[in-house]
Amino acid sequence: MSAAKPIDTREYPLDHEPIEDWQRVDGSAGADEENSAAPDEPTTAFAQLGTITGADYGLWEMSAGDMRDIEGEEVFLVVSGTGRIEFDESDLPPIELSSGTLVRLEDGMKTRWYVNEAPLRKLFIVPSEG
């Protein structure tokens, strides 16, 4: 992305993929022999848009459903959709997500994502890896 060419963060095309087995909240096996994904299994999509002063930024999106994740250091702004993040650490309260919500997650946090109004799309900023 260049400074002279803005993008529409709500309409930018993203290609979804099924979540990994370990990310399933219910711990089920997921896909069966006839289908490539379980019914109502969430999918996610990702696009890195650029780098600025030691930080990468991009878009991430999740369809309706529930999934687990282990977070990296990041700040994100919800662009669209609604949902909630719950933390495995019992002393952290859930975070309700909707357009305009700004969140900071720390490296190693174990989370559960619940998306109601899909897709949930966020603009993220993370430290560059190299």
Q: Which CATH number covers residue 96? A: 2.60.120.10
In a domain, 11, yes or no: no
Please say whether the beta carbons of 55 and 80 come within 8 A: no
pLDDT (0 to 100) of residue 129? 83
pLDDT (0 to 100) of residue 81? 98
In a domain, 7, yes or no: no
pTM of the predicted model, to two decimals? Answer: 0.86
Q: Residue 105: which domain range?
A: 17-127
In a domain, 94, yes or no: yes
User: Mean pLDDT over all residues of the chain?
Assistant: 89
In a domain, 39, yes or no: yes
Q: In this model, does residue 31 exceed pLDDT 70? A: no
Mean pLDDT of 9-33: 81
Q: What is the total count of domains within the chain?
A: 1
